[in-house]
Chain A
Amino acid sequence: DTGVSQDPRHKITKRGQNVTFRCDPISEHNRLYWYRQTLGQGPEFLTYFQNEAQLEKSRLLSDRFSAERPKGSFSTLEIQRTEQGDSAMYLCASSSVSVYGYTFGSGTRLTVV
């Protein structure tokens, strides 16, 4: 297992377009998290899954954002009708027992022009 993988690493899109990011967690981890980091801020929680169930969503996750983890393995995060304010680093992390720490991916950097 090579850790948490995120694809793509970078994405440039025009305002109004839809984008989808993928996260492949560590295979034995049943929890998967999405965070967003903007310049000068720490990572902000968006949502998390335990297996295929989405257990919590942040207020930051507007109606334009949707996340899925259909088979309890990889996850996708889709942003519809992107806005310039969506430009950020989108981080995915996974864990088995969360007290033992998360393993993060390298992130997807989204730029909306």
Chain B
Amino acid sequence: ILNVEQSPQSLHVQEGDSTNFTCSFPSSNFYALHWYRWETAKSPEALFVMTLNGDEKKKGRISATLNTKEGYSYLYIKGSQPEDSATYLCAFRGSQGNLIFGKGTKLSVKP
């Protein structure tokens, strides 16, 4: 059974704090690692798709790194804002074709 773990489960930070989350996934049969941001009552929004070991991607204040050999990815948010409050999901794609999601990290940013 393929397992994708995310930590922490939830996180409460103050506006302006920087934060990071972890996603661990199987290190074999790796094809891609996806990050999504899911706000309440909206659809999950794709942040990054990462395919190569050592990949680093950035979108505004959000960045992500990938280590496929050890099976982990970090998502960083610099200078958190209240609008960053959401659940951040990572998903592993291996040879099975479909995405396997973690349970997500729920971020709350207080003004």
> Is the Cβ of B44 less than 8 Å from the Cβ of A104?
yes
Knowing A40-B103, A99-B49, A101-B34, the reply to whether A45 touches B98 (Cβ < 8 A) is yes
Q: Is A91 close to B, CB under 8 A?
A: yes
Contact of A56 with B89 at beta-carbon distance under 8 Å, contacts A40-B103, A99-B51 already known = no
CA distance A52 to B31 in the complex (A): 25
CB <8 Å contact, B43 and A56: no
Interface positions of A from 51 to 71, Cβ below 8 Å from B: 55-56
The distance from the CB of B80 to the nearest CB of chain A, in whole angstroms, is: 22
**Complex: chain A residue closest to B9, CB-CB:** A40
**Do A45 and B43 form a contact, CB below 8 Å, given A98-B93, A99-B32, A101-B49?**
no
Q: Total interface residues on B, using CB and 8 Å?
A: 25
Q: Is B60 an interface residue (CB 8 A)?
A: no
Q: Is A16 an interface residue (CB 8 A)?
A: no
Q: In the bound complex, how far is the Cα of B101 from the Cα of A45, in angstroms? A: 9
In the bound assembly, the distance between CA atoms of A40 and B104 in angstroms comes to 9
Interface string of B14-39 (1 = CB under 8 A from A): 00000000000000000110101000
Please pick, from A42, A55, A99, A103, the residue contacting B4 in the complex, using a CB distance under 8 A.
Answer: A42
Instruction: Show 11 residue pairs from A and B whose CB-CB distance is below 8 angstroms, ordered by the A residue.
Output: A33-B99, A41-B103, A42-B89, A42-B91, A43-B101, A45-B100, A98-B99, A99-B51, A102-B46, A103-B43, A104-B44
Say yes or no for A48: interface residue by CB 8 A criterion: yes
Q: Give the chain A neighbours of B59 by CB distance below 8 A.
A: none
CA distance A100 to B51 in the complex (A): 10
A3 x B49 contact (CB < 8 A): no
Pairwise interchain contact B102-A42, C-beta atoms closer than 8 A:
yes
Q: Among B32, B98, B101, point to the contact of A56 (Cβ < 8 A).
A: B98
Cβ of B83 to closest chain A Cβ, rounded Å: 18
A18–B40 Cα gap in the complex (Å)? 27
Please encode chain A, from 92 to 113, with 1 for each CB lying within 8 Å of some chain B CB and 0 for all others: 0000001111111111000000
Q: Are B103 and A33 within 8 A (Cβ)?
A: no
